[in-house]
Each structure stands twice: as C-alpha cells, then as structure tokens.
Amino acid sequence: MKYEPVGVFDSGVGGLTVAREIMRQLPKERIVYFGDTARVPYGSKSQETIIRYSRQIIRFLKTRNVKAIVVACNTASAFALDTIQPELDIPIIGVVKPGAKIAAETTRSGKVGVIGTEGTIRSRIYTETIAKHDPNIQVMAKACPLLVPLVEEGWLKDKITVEVATRYLQPFLESDVDTLIMGCTHYPLLRSMLRRILGNQVNLVNPAYETARGLKRLLQDNDLVNDGKCTADGKHYEFYVSDAAEKFMEFANNILPYDIDNTQLIHIEEY
Amino acid sequence: MKYEPVGVFDSGVGGLTVAREIMRQLPKERIVYFGDTARVPYGSKSQETIIRYSRQIIRFLKTRNVKAIVVACNTASAFALDTIQPELDIPIIGVVKPGAKIAAETTRSGKVGVIGTEGTIRSRIYTETIAKHDPNIQVMAKACPLLVPLVEEGWLKDKITVEVATRYLQPFLESDVDTLIMGCTHYPLLRSMLRRILGNQVNLVNPAYETARGLKRLLQDNDLVNDGKCTADGKHYEFYVSDAAEKFMEFANNILPYDIDNTQLIHIEEY
C-alpha cells in the first residue's frame, strides 16, 4: 500500500500549488492529480453540489489505487471534507485545517484575516476552525471573487490586479489583523503582490505549504510513507482533467518544477 | 402545441437578457428557462463538453413539453447548435446567427468587431457566420474573460470595470470597426459603459434583441405562435437551475421586468 500514489484533487488548476508543495516536501511520493476543469469553479456553487462532485472524484481516484487523498481545494475542503471523511477507508486531508491551525498559532494581535472564494467565505469554515483552536481569536473574512479570473487571465503582475487586490484588502489594512490566510489555491501565485500591498507587518499563511506538512505527518501516522528508492523526475506524477487537457498542461508547466507532457481526459460524471 | 412554452437555456444567469427580450417582444409566449449554474461558466470549456451539456439540458426541457428552443448562450450556440439541430424534432435558434446577420447588414466600413468569452472567440463562429453573409467583411474578435466575473461581482458601473473594458476595447478604438457585437449574454448589462468607451461612431449589436426577433419569425414559420388570450404577468414563466436557486433569483429580479418568486433546482446530470 505504501508504494501507491497520493490522490490530489481540485476544481481545476489551483490545486497544482498544493501538488507543487507535496513534490517539494515529499519527493518520493507518487501523485495522481485530478482537476475538475469541466465544472470549475467550485467557489460559487452550493454545498450539496460540491459534495456530489467530490464523491465522484474520490470514486475515480480510488480506481487509481490511491493510498491517501488530499483535497487541494478550499471550497471542497470547506463543504465536503467532514461529510466524506467517515465514508472512506483511507486517510484524507484538506487544505483548511492546516492553514487555520498555523494562523491560530502564529497571530500575536489575536486578529486573523481570511481571503477566499465566495463559497469558502460563506461557509465560515476558517472562522469556525480557528475558533476551535482559540475562541478568543477574531477572524475577519472577505470573499475576493475576481482574483481567480485575474490569475487565469494571466494578469499576475498587472496594475488592474493590484487595484482589485488593494480594494479587497483595504479592510485588513484598516484593522489590527497580523496574519492573513490565502484561502484559495490560486492566491499563492499573487503572493508577492499581496505582500507588497499588506506590508511586512502582516504574516501571509499559505495553506498549501501547511497541507504538505500535514500530509507528511498523516502518512507517517498511518505507516504509509513511500520509503522506496524512486527519485522525483516528474515521471511518477499522473494528471487527469475533466476538460481542456491542453490548457491545463500549459498552466501546469508554468507552475510545476517538472514539465508534464501527458494529461488524460476523463468523464468524471460517469464515476 | 402552440400553447406550449418556449425553452430557453444558458450556462447561468446571462441568458436572462435573452429571456427579457422574448418577454418584451413576445409577451404571450410562455417560457421555461434553464440556467446551468452548477457548471457555469461554459466559456472556458471544450466543444465536446458543451455538446454533452446541451444535450442533457434539451432532454430536460423536452420533459417540460417545450415547442421550440432558444440557445441563449453564445458558447453553446457556437459549439453545440449545428450538432444538435439535426437531432431535434422541434425548431431551435441560437444567439449567434441573428447577431452576425444584423452586424453584416449594418456595417458601412466593412469592419465588424466581436467581443465574447474565450470559448466563443476561439470557436471563430462569428467570423465564419459573418463571412457566409459577406466574405468581404473583416472581423476583429477579442476574448474578454474578465467581463463576466465583473458583472457577477456587481461592479457594473465601477471604475475598475471601465479600466478593464477600456483595455479590452483598445484594439477596436484603433481600428475602423463601426459595428461591435456584444457576443456574450452578460455584456448588454454593461451596454452604457461600452457605449461611452466606444463613442457614438460604433454601433453596438445586442444579439439578445435580434434573437427574440428571430424567434418570432421562427414561430410564425412553424405555425407555433401562441395566439391565446393570456397576458404577461410573470406567472407563465418557469425557472430551473442546476445549483444555487436563491442567488439566481436575486440576479433575475435585478434583470427581469417581473419579480420571480420560484426557481426549482434540478439535477441536470441525470438527464
């Protein structure tokens, strides 16, 4: 079982920032990545729909014999993880809890900010998860629905993106928030811009990084660490999408440390 | 048959601008509207996927006994209409051909512009349809992927939206284009802004308006005009979505001339 791959899924390309962290921190692990590009984005959809989509994806990943699952999508972590976890016989981890935990541990002002999609923010998942760590921490949350389309348009360093991000971040600048969670997997691609807008007083939390650390512990606890001799070269990574494989590969090759040359299309609705 | 409703579908809320024109121009017609809010947007998805989705939606609409179908989505009109038309035993009309026809007839400079989603522009459907009317017309097409999220964020009169639209429209301002097709159903909601950016030299074509006119002719030609006594009061309109019915109604009530108080959720994947 320990030589089987880790399944990683997201609504589209955003979860590649999580896959990238796993590749960096756990270079011996094989990965099967699924991006639901036919039904992206998840951020504006309802909980019921996200649970249905997540179940389909997990059924698909299990056909690839995954030993553990990473929900590399904040909306799916918020909406579906608690429902799906008891249905599974393999370990699963989302991006929300690791990000919330480090933010709760890091803040000194006791005020944490969260930015994300409409779905993630509406779910109040970060607010509730942080409250479980420390009910005295105040959480200020803001949906930033335009940041994903701006990243996907490729306007990563554009002045319009700066203007939009500055407007979204304004309430945090006028507050005592000292820790801001990038609660959407696309946002780390805007990290240096967000950093410039927020200044050095605010600590930026990247849940992708914390999730890869959490996965490492989860594999250790379940005796699932791949201790084989294989070295990372991009060949033990498999990519699947529900639509537009070419476009996915192009985006992936801008993000990942290895060039990928094969992405398979599957009909996720059949799972 | 003539007393049955017209089926109208779109990837989400955008097609309501088409439904609104049908309500205005054909007030006696009943409408069954379907918005595929679980899988929106279509603009970035592949032709194969859009055809599959459109077939499912048409199977659903036929369970509502529709007498004709309006594809109120530019991407689906571009990708799916020609494939689906021969499979049907009722008339169907899309938004592309009526918009392309009026643009070809209106231009004096012989240069027509088109703006739309990535999918619509990549399909070259407007370029090819205009060429069928007059091969001498030059078509300049540009994808504007951020305009839909900006409309859905509600930034309809915002200076950031002006900046984004101005950047997208710049190539048209530097050209002899005298007719610009708003090739996405969300864009008429930005009409006055686009008009200000373009000035009065450019004629803005709204395919929604032309499609309602085309539907009128299509119903006449097929002896399907509803000549009953019913008057428009919002009660002979039915709305269905694949997700987030509440949010849909809120948006619809900002656009439509009648308040709607009932939108039903259906599982479109089961059709």
| Beta sheet of A68-71, edge-to-edge order | A92-94, A68-71, A6-10, A31-35, A237-241, A264-265
Q: Chain A closest CA to B150's CA: distance in Å?
A: 7
Q: Chain A closest CA to B39's CA: distance in Å?
A: 5
Structure-derived torsion over alpha carbons of residues B86, B92, B94, B98, reported in degrees to the nearest 10: 110
Confidence of residue B261 (pLDDT cuts 50, 70, 90): confident
**H/E element holding B161?**
helix B159-173
Q: Do A49 and B153 touch (CB under 8 A)?
A: no
Q: Do A164 and B160 touch (CB under 8 A)?
A: yes
Confidence of residue B231 (pLDDT cuts 50, 70, 90): low
Chain A residue numbers with beta carbons less than 8 Å from the beta carbon of B164 are 160
What was the pLDDT predicted at A234?
Answer: 57
ipTM of the complex: 0.85
Confidence of residue B164 (pLDDT cuts 50, 70, 90): very high
Confidence of residue B232 (pLDDT cuts 50, 70, 90): low
Contact of A49 with chain B, judged by CB distance below 8 Å, is answered with yes
pLDDT in tens, B58-91: 999 999 999 999 999 999 999 999 999 999 999 9
Residues in chain B: 271
Nearest chain B Cα to A271, which residue?
A: B269
Is B184 labeled as catalytic in the residue annotation?
Answer: yes
Question: With contact defined as beta carbons under 8 Å apart, do B179 and B103 qualify?
Answer: yes
CB contact residues (below 8 A), chain B span 152-171, against chain A: 152-153, 160, 163-164, 167
Q: Do B145 and A146 touch (CB under 8 A)?
A: no
What was the pLDDT predicted at B98?
Answer: 97
What was the pLDDT predicted at B228?
Answer: 80
Q: Do A49 and B40 touch (CB under 8 A)?
A: no
Question: With contact defined as beta carbons under 8 Å apart, do B220 and B23 qualify?
Answer: no
Give the start-end residues of each E strand in chain B.
6-10, 31-35, 68-71, 92-94, 111-116, 138-143, 179-182, 203-205, 237-241, 263-265
pLDDT at B95 over 90: yes
Task: Give me chain A's average pLDDT, please.
Answer: 94
Pairs of residues, one from chain A and one from chain B, whose beta carbons lie less than 8 Å apart: 54
Task: Give me chain B's average pLDDT, please.
Answer: 94
| Closest CB to B45 among A44, A46, A244 | A244
From the list A34, A92, A37, the residue with the least C-alpha distance to A247 is A37
Contact of A145 with chain B, judged by CB distance below 8 Å, is answered with yes
Question: With contact defined as beta carbons under 8 Å apart, do B240 and B33 qualify?
Answer: yes
Q: Chain B closest CA to A92's CA: distance in Å?
A: 25
pLDDT at B210 over 70: yes
Q: Do B149 and A149 touch (CB under 8 A)?
A: yes
Q: Chain B closest CA to A104's CA: distance in Å?
A: 30
Confidence of residue B41 (pLDDT cuts 50, 70, 90): confident
Contact of B1 with chain A, judged by CB distance below 8 Å, is answered with no
Chain B residue numbers with beta carbons less than 8 Å from the beta carbon of A48 are 243
What was the pLDDT predicted at A231?
Answer: 52
pLDDT at B121 over 70: yes
- Residue B80: φ, ψ to 5°: -115, -25
pLDDT in tens, A29-78: 999 999 999 999 898 888 999 999 999 999 999 999 999 999 999 999 99
- Which regions in chain A score pLDDT beneath 50? none
Q: Do B152 and A145 touch (CB under 8 A)?
A: yes
Eight-class DSSP state of B187: G
Residue A105 is encoded by which pair of tokens? 């541990």
Q: Is the pTM of this model over 0.90?
A: no
Q: Do A145 and B153 touch (CB under 8 A)?
A: yes
Lowest mean pLDDT among A60-74, B148-162, B234-248: B234-248
What was the pLDDT predicted at B233?
Answer: 56
Chain A residue numbers with beta carbons less than 8 Å from the beta carbon of B44 are 40, 152, 244, 247
pLDDT at B234 over 90: no
List the single best residue of A54, A150, A153, A270 to mutate versus B (max B Cβ within 10 A).
Answer: A153
Number of neighbouring beta carbons within 10 Å of residue B122 = 18
Number of neighbouring beta carbons within 10 Å of residue B134 = 12
Question: With contact defined as beta carbons under 8 Å apart, do B138 and B112 qualify?
Answer: yes
Chain A residue numbers with beta carbons less than 8 Å from the beta carbon of B153 are 145-146
Chain A residue numbers with beta carbons less than 8 Å from the beta carbon of B145 are 149, 152-153
Chain B residue numbers with beta carbons less than 8 Å from the beta carbon of A163 are 160, 163
pLDDT at B49 over 60: yes
Q: Chain B closest CA to A255's CA: distance in Å?
A: 20
List the single best residue of B13, B46, B150, B160 to mutate versus A (max A Cβ within 10 A).
Answer: B46
Instruction: Give the mean pLDDT of B24-52.
Output: 93
Chain B residue numbers with beta carbons less than 8 Å from the beta carbon of A166 are none
What was the pLDDT predicted at B208?
Answer: 97
